[in-house]
Structure 1
């Protein structure tokens, strides 16, 4: 079962990294190709925050029912509300460390989705 992930990345570099490094089990869809009318259902959202103006888009995409990964160079974890479906990633990590961090989070989300499906 592939996990559908909606990715918001205006600079495309992280989107490309995810698609190259985490191919198995995940399908990444770039946000600009997504519309509210789109039939694409996503299981999680990864939001790369590069600029303060993007907070408007973040507010539009955030759904507390879906796993949401917020990634930014300004994240330290301090002051963020701790929510069950909210994950943060510090983009100051090395490429290898970023890939490991995203894989760890996405594998956890995938496991939760599988458990939820089996419970039905």
Structure 2
């Protein structure tokens, strides 16, 4: 294999060279681990949400950043998008099988972190 060349998914016993900057798998990892990608995947872990429900579930995210993040995750086949032909259109998002598979360890990480933190102070 030449340096910098990427392996194709059709080579059954080979993997992508994720440490190369031009690796397609690296792009997916970048989207999943982006500031908002993790929160989108965790928010969609238990149910499908409409755009504004998703925005309200992730405090601090702007509409622009949510739209950009969703666009990347849909392109990566981690999230599906369904548009209902209403006026105005209602757009619903959910995890694909790949998204659920990737989201499981993120959810486990999230749960481990929150279990280890001290309880929130009442007041």
Task: Tell me the TM-score normalised to structure 2 length.
Answer: 0.29
- Comparing both structures, which one devotes a greater share of its residues to helix? 2
TM-score (ref. length: structure 1): 0.30
**Whose strand fraction is larger, Structure 1's or Structure 2's?**
1
